[in-house]
Copies of this chain bind each other. A is one copy, B any other.
């Protein structure tokens, strides 16, 4: 007999009511009296449980009554409507088979657990409401991103995880090696990297952008979506050592095109998740972050504001708000400033553009004023910066100069410079931290709770 998923029953309920159905899942709760009982069954395909009613007509009534939470069972019975009840229908079981029992000490009992505790059982936490919702949204958001770019004929590029390039100036890196850690090969008092696996020093990538640009110069529109790494000793709720990043790159394009793409993408992801995970989003809105749906709907329906950094600094200097960090032209904006702009001033997402070159990366296009670069940060209510991007410097001489100022060795980047020699059309791109986006979509405030098995300072469990 073919089985149905709980998702099928909920989404296509009218066609199943009063039919025989067959479901397979795990017991979330079980309560029973002497002659009958109720099971809340979850099969992982749907946020909500389905209620199973069983009674002593079952040959194995006693056995079923004693099953522990998280036991796997297979249930045959009739799906009946339950007008007036909390759930729309339930299954009157005619047969329940035990697929796999659970031991009695299952660590996820019905009571509410702290998120900290659940992190210690990351292998089981997807069986809770919160994490079932988080990781379904994560999966849907990932797909929405692919769908968005593929529908626009962007090419998905797998940029390398192991990189032989120097640090790109974007942060501390993890070394990747197969050398003997105690007696590494030495030559002239230095490590002899020629003996390492790749014959040179290699690290985990901090960004796929530079490699992505090489593909944009061939395919026009490309995106990356892969893991990136930071070996930074920062134990915060917003930093992980391993996280995924989306980095589109578009050719024959300027900063305006870049912002348009970022705006379209963000709205697309949010809309897709709202449409495809309504139960999960309702749950987050009720139990995690009461303002969530309003905030997300506001983003989808807003035209994002665009202001220059110079204008932003003016506004902040005139603001009546008390900031911890003072604002002067030339300083980097802090989260408090970003949130003030997007939450208090504009009450919607804001692109801030044209930052001082000193606080931005070497590859950003120098503006005609010689002081600012064609960069943009997208600020959203609730968190501040969620996307950062720029038009790229395509002038070979200016680029070399900026690399020198940034202490980068141009010999290491010969291939990146080549892009400027051979038809280096204007191009632009941005980066979206995937986990940051999931936190924003769910209202979850700790990055450890949106990654299946998070890697942070002093923690790489499972």
Contact = CB atoms under 8 A, between A and B. Distances in A.
Contacts of A186: 182
A365 interface: no
A40 interface: no
A177 B172 contact: no
Number of copies: 2
Given A191-B182, A462-B415, A197 B218 contact: no
Given A161-B161, A161-B227, A422-B103, A43 B460 contact: no
B425 A460 contact: no
A330 interface: no
Nearest to A418: B123
Nearest to A101: B423
A391 interface: no
B251 A425 contact: no
A422 B218 contact: no
A372 interface: no
Given A142-B156, A184-B182, A394-B100, A72 B252 contact: yes
A215 interface: yes
A175 B172 contact: no
Contacts of A127: 217-218
Contacts of A426: 99-100
A139 B152 CA distance: 13
A191 B200 contact: no
A286 interface: no
B135 A44 contact: no
Interface string A140-170: 1011001000100101111111111100000
A455 interface: yes
A71 B423 contact: yes
B181 A177 contact: yes
A290 to B, nearest CB: 27
Given A45-B220, A453-B211, A181 B174 contact: no
A162 B455 contact: yes
A413 to B, nearest CB: 10
Given A72-B251, A136-B219, 5 more contacts: A25-B220, A135-B155, A162-B241, A197-B233, A211-B452
